[in-house]
Amino acid sequence: MLALLGATTLVLVAAVRWMLPAAAGETNLKSPQNVEVYIIDDTFILQWNRSEPSVKNVTFSADYQTLENDTWVKLPGCQSVASTKCNFSSVKLNVYEEIKLRIRAEKDSHTSPWHYVDSFTLFGKAQIGPPKVHLEAEDKAIIINISPPGTKDHGMWALDSSSFTYSLDIWKNSSSGERRTKTVYPRDKIYKLSPETTYCLKVKARLLPRKTGVYSPVYCIKTTVENKLPPPENIQVDAKNHIYVLKWDYTYENVTFQAQWLHAYLKKIPGDNSGKWKQIPNCENVQTTQCVFPKNTFRKGIYLIRVRASDGNTTSVWSNEEKFDTQLQITPFPPVITMKSTNDVSLRVYISAPEESENKPVNHHYPLIYEIIFWENTSNAERKIQENRTDFTFPKLKPLTVYCVKARALIQEGKWNKSSVFSDIVCEKTKPGNTSKTWLIAGVCAALFSIPVVIYVMKLLFRCISYVFFPSSKPPSTIDEYFSEQPLRNLLLFTSEEHTERCFIIENRNTITAVEETNQTDGEHKKYNSQTSQDSGNYSNEDESSGSKFSEESLNQETE
Amino acid sequence: MSTKPDVFRTCVWPACLVGLLITGILSLDCNLLHFHLRKVTWQNLRLLSSTSSSFPVECLQETTAFELPQEILSHTQPVKRYIKEAFYEMSIQAFNIFSQHTFKTTWEKDYLKQIQIGLYQQLQYLEQCLEEEEKEKEDSKEMEQNGINWSGAMVSQLSNLELRRYFNRIDNFLKEKKYSHCAWEIIRVEIRRCFYYFQKFAVLLRKK
């Protein structure tokens, strides 16, 4: 018994010691507070606050656990840390898997209870760090070269090497205002700057849809002295039937131009693409400010186009890179207009798609807006309206006046502004204003005329109804004739039994006559018999023995 | 008077049809883009399907299940924004896969380029749509403050994470197999699945 008691007390003491280690060691350690995980790119930081700043020589240790693995593993870089922060970037983990962390304070052989951090994914907590930026100056532009945040090809953004989009903030160093914000490619050019001016800029990376990084430090650079030859401006590509027309503006003469293209997707991939630009056919050494090339030069896709000028000795820098999407190079077709004058001195306009066109579906698929120009034939005053309806009315016009209308289709969608040529002009005269009276008269006339018609129709209808629902009670004449001599009450029975009865009667007569004849002969026999019997009756009593004698004799004669 | 029914037949009826079509498209945010998206996704799917007619037999034993999160369609369906986000995420990841520098493959290079061009186009349209919406959102920030949006964002974030896990598996597979011929063939088949999803997303976006 004593041994058992001793054992239990030992166990109890041990349990108490295990549960409350501080109670025995006098140092009641508390677990750290406000534990936070900060992740920027590939740097993972765990931060916390001391619960008892007065207690000296306290260190902290953290464990982690993945969902796949149920055991707690020591978090590298976060063992026996004396400060309130540790870097666990060296941990090898799938950044998309959920992990759990726990941390406790330690002093000598004593430890605090664990503080648990809610499960999270490294990616979910990760912030995008500042990108590295390299700048090069031109006279009116700055070439920007951005390296994506994080380490290349592995780590946090391993899947995102091409996914980053960059927002750039640029301003003149001298002035405080006038900031420009722009979305740029990793390798891009910022245009429309002044020469010999210092510009400052900062860049942040973004991962659509909702991760936005921190800005890079501010970089400043001074643009160079203005070049003699400026680059061409306002580059524009227009699609015609089978060709593209590339146009640009240029102020100087006696220069030749050269145009190049690049697949726009290459810009999205980090790396140098300067060697991948290709010459546009028919656009080399052109002296005009435009060049024409067949549509089949470009397959479907998005392209970048740039142009530069050369006067033989010097060459300008490349122009702005103009984005050009073959799929969006659509010119809508002019609509077809029909106009109709209505009775309230208005003109109703119907707009429809052209019936015969080379590329029929184009107009149908786009949200078209119609620009309609409307004028009185004799005056020059035009009314211009924009409509997205295809059926509308110009109300309250002058009566008996000719009005004309023409329209064109527009595609207005953000940056794309396309318009068709104008349709044919359609003119129409409005109706006189007092049309309502004539209509009233016509209406009355029509009503008068329709009365006899209505009456006649009613009559017909009445006849029909009475024929169907109230038929006359007389039977048809044929039936009448047939049964004219017969009384009507026998009509039902008579027809079925008449013949058979006759037949019966005829048969009966035969049998009856036959029977009567036989009866007659029988009767004679009977009469005769009765007479004889009557006679024999007289004799019978007398001649009983003689009869028997006679029968005996005849019997004997028979036996002999 | 005799021209009256003709006018109606030839003009009003098609006009009504066009009107219906237009209102259908106008109800979308970036309406023109959705039309193009559908076209581009269809072209891309056709292109990827045509890159090789048969799967090489010697690669059969290396095939792996990458477990494309199929519920992505049903999860994102209620809100157009989520469809766009998932659509974008898948597109950008597919683009990244095809844009890896270590690309060594027997696929015809031209085809690969075409796929990249198509995917880039798809991305551009989606990016534009997302950015446009972002601006709209900034304009009406106070509407963001309610809890419904927050829980919605969680759903979208979770599906985004699922997609990333999936593409991470693909990425790891390619790295493990050292971008071998077979690895690429397997990935190509896998990515075709995504392209089918693109097609579905595009249809969903146009419908709404």
Domain boundary among A424, A445, A467: A467
- Collapse the DSSP code of A68 into the 3-class scheme (helix H, G, I; strand E, B; otherwise coil) and give the result: coil
CB within 8 Å: A351 and B12: no
In-domain check, residue A531? no
| Residues A340, A410 within the same domain | yes
Residues of B in contact with A162 (CB under 8 A): 92, 95-96, 99
Provide the phi-psi class of A41: left if phi over 0, else alpha when psi is between -120 and 50, else beta.
left
Residues of A in contact with B36 (CB under 8 A): 327-328
CB within 8 Å: B114 and A368: no
| Residues A122, A136 within the same domain | no
Please check whether residue A105 is in contact with residue A59, taking contact to mean a CB–CB distance below 8 angstroms: yes
Among candidate residues A421, A397, A398, the one with its CA nearest the CA of residue A408: A421
CB within 8 Å: A159 and B124: no
Mean pLDDT of B125-144: 69
Q: When comparing pLDDT for A65 and A513, which is higher?
A: A65
Q: Which residue of B has its CA nearest to A341?
A: B4
pLDDT for A366: 61
pLDDT, tens digit, 9 for 90 and up, residues B184-206: 888 888 888 888 888 888 888 77
Residues of A in contact with B85 (CB under 8 A): 209
Provide the phi-psi class of A400: left if phi over 0, else alpha when psi is between -120 and 50, else beta.
left
Please check whether residue B33 is in contact with residue B201, taking contact to mean a CB–CB distance below 8 angstroms: no
How near does any CA of chain B get to the CA of A351, in Å?
A: 7
| Residues A110, A145 within the same domain | no
What is the side-by-side strand order in the sheet with A43-49? A85-87, A43-49, A33-40, A126-127
Domain boundary among A126, A147, A165: A126
**Residue B38's CATH number:** 1.20.1250.10
pLDDT for A381: 81
Residues of B in contact with A416 (CB under 8 A): 32
Q: What span, in angstroms and rounded, lies between the C-alpha atoms of A227 and A530?
A: 174
CB within 8 Å: B19 and A389: yes
pLDDT, tens digit, 9 for 90 and up, residues A116-127: 988 888 888 888
pLDDT > 60? residue A497: no
- From the candidates A120, A153, A208, which should be mutated to test the interface with B, based on the most B CB atoms within 10 A? A208
Count the domains in chain B.
Answer: 1
Mean pLDDT for chain A overall? 76
Cis peptide bond prior to B56, omega within 30° of 0: no
Residues of B in contact with A302 (CB under 8 A): 117, 120-121, 124
Count the domains in chain A.
Answer: 5
CA angle centred on A282, ends A326 and A273, rounded to 5°: 60
pLDDT, tens digit, 9 for 90 and up, residues B16-26: 444 443 333 33
Among candidate residues A154, A187, A344, the one with its CA nearest the CA of residue A266: A187
In-domain check, residue A117? yes
pLDDT > 50? residue B7: no
- Collapse the DSSP code of B54 into the 3-class scheme (helix H, G, I; strand E, B; otherwise coil) and give the result: coil
pLDDT > 70? residue B133: yes
pLDDT for A416: 55
pLDDT > 70? residue A549: no
In-domain check, residue A558? no
Q: Which residue of B has its CA nearest to A98?
A: B161
| Residues A92, A185 within the same domain | no
How much of chain A exceeds pLDDT 70, in percent? Answer: 73
| Residues A191, A239 within the same domain | no
- From the candidates A156, A162, A278, which should be mutated to test the interface with B, based on the most B CB atoms within 10 A? A162
**CA B73 to the chain's CA centroid:** 11
How near does any CA of chain B get to the CA of A230, in Å?
A: 31
| Residues A98, A112 within the same domain | yes
In-domain check, residue A198? yes
ipTM > 0.85, yes or no:
no
Mean pLDDT of B133-144: 61
User: Of A163, A208, A340, which is closest to B96 when you measure between CB atoms?
Assistant: A163
Residues of B in contact with A268 (CB under 8 A): 95, 99, 120, 123
pLDDT > 60? residue A23: no
At residue A506 the predicted structure's pLDDT band, cuts being 50, 70 and 90, is low
pLDDT for A554: 47
Q: What span, in angstroms and rounded, lies between the C-alpha atoms of A181 and A170?
A: 7
DSSP secondary structure, B142-196, as one string: GGGGSHHHHHHHHHHHHHHHHHHHHHHHHHHHHHHTTT-HHHHHHHHHHHHHHHH
| Residues A316, A374 within the same domain | no
Return the number of other C-beta atoms located less than 10 Å from residue A549's C-beta.
11
Query: How much is the pTM?
Result: 0.64
Q: When comparing pLDDT for A175 and A225, which is higher?
A: A225
Q: Which residue of B has its CA nearest to A339?
A: B7
Domain boundary among A222, A249, A265: A222
Provide the phi-psi class of B6: left if phi over 0, else alpha when psi is between -120 and 50, else beta.
alpha
pLDDT for A203: 92
In-domain check, residue B121? yes
Least confident stretch, A18-27, A181-190, B151-160:
A18-27
Among A39-53, A332-346, B100-114, B120-134, the range of highest mean pLDDT: A39-53
Residues near A165 by Cβ (< 8 Å), separated by ≥ 6? A183, A205, A206, A207, A208, B127
CB within 8 Å: B32 and A96: no
Please check whether residue A74 is in contact with residue A61, taking contact to mean a CB–CB distance below 8 angstroms: yes
pLDDT, tens digit, 9 for 90 and up, residues A224-278: 888 888 888 888 888 777 788 888 888 888 888 999 999 888 888 877 778 889 8
pLDDT > 70? residue A86: yes
In-domain check, residue B16? no
In-domain check, residue A9? no
pLDDT for A407: 86
Domain that includes residue B67, residue range: 30-207
Residues of A in contact with B88 (CB under 8 A): 208-209
Q: What span, in angstroms and rounded, lies between the C-alpha atoms of A290 and A234?
A: 11
Among candidate residues A123, A120, A124, A104, the one with its CA nearest the CA of residue A65: A120
In-domain check, residue B152? yes
How near does any CA of chain B get to the CA of A457, in Å?
A: 28
pLDDT, tens digit, 9 for 90 and up, residues A398-436: 888 888 888 888 776 555 566 777 888 888 888 776 656
CB within 8 Å: A268 and B164: no
What tokens does A364 get?
Answer: 């149908």
In-domain check, residue A550? no
In-domain check, residue B21? no
Domain that includes residue A449, residue range: 437-467
What tokens does A117 get?
Answer: 């951090």
In-domain check, residue B1? no
| Residues A208, A137 within the same domain | yes
| Residues A313, A368 within the same domain | no
User: Of A327, A338, A367, which is closest to B121 when you measure between CB atoms?
Assistant: A327
pLDDT, tens digit, 9 for 90 and up, residues A299-334: 888 889 999 998 888 888 888 888 888 877 666 777
pLDDT > 80? residue B27: no
| Residues A249, A312 within the same domain | yes
Please check whether residue A168 is in contact with residue A144, taking contact to mean a CB–CB distance below 8 angstroms: yes
Residues of B in contact with A388 (CB under 8 A): 22, 26
pLDDT > 60? residue A288: yes
| Residues A23, A107 within the same domain | yes
What tokens does A526 get?
Answer: 């009977």
| Residues A302, A395 within the same domain | no
In-domain check, residue A400? yes
Interface A-B, measured as beta-carbon pairs within 8 A, has a size of 137
CB within 8 Å: B12 and A391: yes
